[in-house]
Amino acid sequence: MFDVSTKVDYAMLIIVELAKSDNQEYLSLQDIADSHDISSNYLSQLAIPLKKANLIISKEGKSGGYKLASSPAEITIRDVVEAIEGPLTIVRCMHEDAKCPAQETCATRPVWHRLKKDIYKLLDEKSIQDIL
């Protein structure tokens, strides 16, 4: 079963909530967590790779929190997914480091390759602005 992880789901939640604020002020993860009844510690763990991917910025202190690093129109769903999970791998043999002995003769490889391409296309086409 193809499954979007809870990490990606909650990372999208962070990004969408920050986008809703119009980047006027920094939002705390605690406020986001409280409004959705989820753990702020979990959101804090997700903020690390989002920040590392330059999707969000942070500010410490009383008026601190998080903001988007760029406009919602410039952030794609793929950006968020890959910040959390890394590049998509539909099946293990499609991973760039995989060494499958049947790679040249595999009957299903073209199907998995097409699926990956179509998923990337959709994730690249949809920005956070589109979600709003």
CATH code of the domain in which 70 resides: 1.10.10.10
What is the largest distance, in Å, between two alpha-carbon atoms of the chain? 60
What is the per-residue DSSP string for 12-47? HHHHHHHHHTTTSS-B-HHHHHHHHT--HHHHHHHH
The answer to whether residue 48 is domain-embedded is yes
Record the tokens describing residue 99, joined without a space.
Answer: 């060494």
pLDDT tens-digit series, residues 97-118: 667 777 677 888 888 889 889 9
On whether residue 39 sits in a domain, the answer given is yes
Domain residue limits at 45? 6-131
Residue 70 counted as domain residue: yes
Q: Is residue 49 part of a domain?
A: yes
What's the gap between Cα 73 and its chain centre? 15
Average pLDDT over residues 58-80: 92
Q: What total number of domains does the chain contain?
A: 1
Confidence grade of residue 88 (pLDDT, cut at 50, 70, 90): confident
Residue 86 lies in a domain: yes
Compare 6 and 93 and report the one with higher pLDDT: 6
Q: Is 58 helix (H, G, I), strand (E, B) or coil?
A: strand
1 assigned to some structural domain? no
Q: Which residue do the tokens 């499954």 mark?
A: 3
Tokens coding 113: 């390759």
